[in-house]
Amino acid sequence: MDESHIEGDLVNILFTEEQIQSRLGELAAEIEAEYEGKDILLVGVLRGAVMVMADLARHFSRHLEMDWMAVSSYGSGTKSSGVVRILKDLDTDISGRHVIIVEDIIDTGLTLSWLVSNLTSRAPASVEICTLLRKPEALQMSVDVKWVGYDIPNEFVVGYGLDYAERYRNLRSIGTLAPHVYS
């Protein structure tokens, strides 16, 4: 799906499909150089990171492993409950492994901070974070992110895995959602 299918729903396009793919290629090259001669386990955070992780992995020129987690810090509403729950845990034992958490977006950093702590307690060789997007103005918890695709303003963005009410995930670009859609 491209932006012509949702005319009027976006204020603007922040990143095109081509820009996203180019940046993911750069990130993959940086990660490969950092981990030369070492096995890598990419851990995607469901559901938003599906597109990012799939395309990031395709940019690698060597073998790597992938696994998935689903975590939630929200109750029934839109405010964080303060409690993080694992909805789907890893299938892989990460002890002694080089783990890279792959995220679509980091905003408050609260859930990600908890996730890093949880994974670190499982005795991996290392845990690093790669995210396509980060909202520096929204951060409430300091999180050490090694690879960032783009820093963006604190706006509601959709596309390329990012959703509003489970819509827009399959948009090939990333754009700012028009307020009339969610107000």
At 111-163, the pLDDT tens digits run 899 999 999 999 999 999 999 999 999 888 889 999 999 999 999 999 999 99
What the chain holds in terms of domains, given with CATH numbers, is 8-74+82-182 (3.40.50.2020)
Supply the pTM of this predicted model: 0.92
At 68-115, the pLDDT tens digits run 999 987 654 444 555 788 999 999 999 999 999 999 999 989 889 999
Quote the CA–CA distance of 97 and 160 in Å, as a whole number. Answer: 28
Location of structure tokens 């976006």: 10
Question: Is the separation of the CB atoms in 75 and 64 below 8 Å?
Answer: no
Return the bridge partners of 177, or none. 10
Please give the order of strands across the beta sheet that includes 126-134: 80-88, 65-74, 40-45, 98-106, 126-134, 147-151
Residues annotated as part of the active site: 107
